Amino acid sequence: MKWIFLLASIVFINFCENKKKPINFTILTNKKVFIPGDTLKISLEKNNHQEFDSISYFKNDKKIDSIHEIGNKLGDKKITVKIFRNNNFREKSINIRVLSSSTPSLFTYKIINEYPHDINSYTQGLEFYDNRLFESIGLRGKSALKEIEFKTGKVIRNLTIDDSYFAEGITLFDKKIYQLTWQSKIGFIYDLESFELIDSFQYGNSIEGWGLCNDGNLIYKSDGTSKIWIIDPNSLKEIDFIQVTTNKSIISKINEMEWINGKIYANTYQFNKDIVLIIDPETGLVEGVVDFNDLKKNLENHPKIDVLNGIAYNKKSKTIFMTGKNWNKLFELQIIEKKNISKQ
């Protein structure tokens, strides 16, 4: 009987000690960097040989199995494991990265026309609507919303923005103009014809306001990071995001944007590089890169000249218009894939 009692005591003590032990584990994955079509395999390295009551796996807060097809959406993914044991709970997270399996195509441009542009306009947004050009001007104390006769540069309408705001990108959707502010975490909605302020909206998880575009159903918003946020125009809430990604890295400082034939065209805010990325709005894949680095040589050189920062697609002419901060010209352009240049 003494041996039975002693054995029972040992089991009970071990049970109590095991119950007191903190939940401790390490998340392991078969790789850290994936491409679309890969399979993610999650395993756990258990410390103290603990047994768990339940284990749940998540990718960006969506529940998955421990063996999971990675999917086509690119960028950084947070892998979280949640464990329950003896009424105790613990979760840990690690990051993995999904890069493209293909390299971007390279493009250049051909200038079709040059038009005058206000050299004092710190351009933050540019968009056509029914062959009419609208522009958002930035800087505190100088911010404005304008309708411009694009061939002459004449200002048709001008709305001065309150000095406390630094205006950013615009997009025109459902006969309304949506305009961002930089760091105030608020956007404004105006009537297209009167420029009357009819509503406003707050940012969600996005950090700042940089660029806007729309596909006729959803609004896309950049915030200066690698993320492009997707906004429901009915609720004005950020419902999802993509991360702009190539086969080598994730691209940050996504700025002014335009929706052109099912793709997002976006410039990045870089002082030494004027490029535009052609982005798949479903996955974040950079399908192409347009080199505009020598476009500035066509401008009047002056101390305040700044980066390329205005992309507008005119559906009537089927051409792209571009300008920049304190540029004296608005360019009408044709985009050409570099491998096709010799064929022209």
User: Residue 251 maps to which CATH number?
Assistant: 2.120.10.30
Element (H, E) at 329: strand 329-337
Tell me how many domains the chain contains: 2
Establish if 1 belongs to a structural domain: no
Tell me: do 29 and 59 sit in the same domain: yes
Beta bridge pairs of residue 137: 123, 144
298-323 pLDDT, tens digit per residue, is: 999 898 888 899 999 999 999 999 99
Tell me: do 226 and 326 sit in the same domain: yes
What's the chain's average pLDDT?
90
Establish if 135 belongs to a structural domain: yes
pTM for the structure as a whole? 0.89
| pLDDT on residue 13 | 41
**% of the chain beyond a pLDDT of 70:** 90
Which residue do the tokens 């009915």 mark? 234
pLDDT score of 156 more than 90: yes
Q: Which of 58, 81, 98 is the last residue of a domain?
A: 98
Q: Which residue has the higher pLDDT, 196 or 13?
A: 196
Tell me: do 112 and 156 sit in the same domain: yes
Parallel, antiparallel, or unpaired for β 33-34 and 88-98?
parallel
Q: Tell me the Ramachandran region of residue 109: left when phi exceeds 0, alpha when psi lies from -120 to 50, beta otherwise.
A: beta
| pLDDT on residue 61 | 87
Establish if 7 belongs to a structural domain: no
> Band of the pLDDT at 49, cuts 50, 70, 90?
low
Q: Which of 67, 98, 129 is the last residue of a domain?
A: 98
Domain that holds residue 88: 19-98
Cα separations in angstroms, 320 against 93, 125, 316, 317: 44, 14, 11, 9
Which CATH number characterizes residue 83's domain? 2.60.40.1080
pLDDT score of 51 more than 80: no
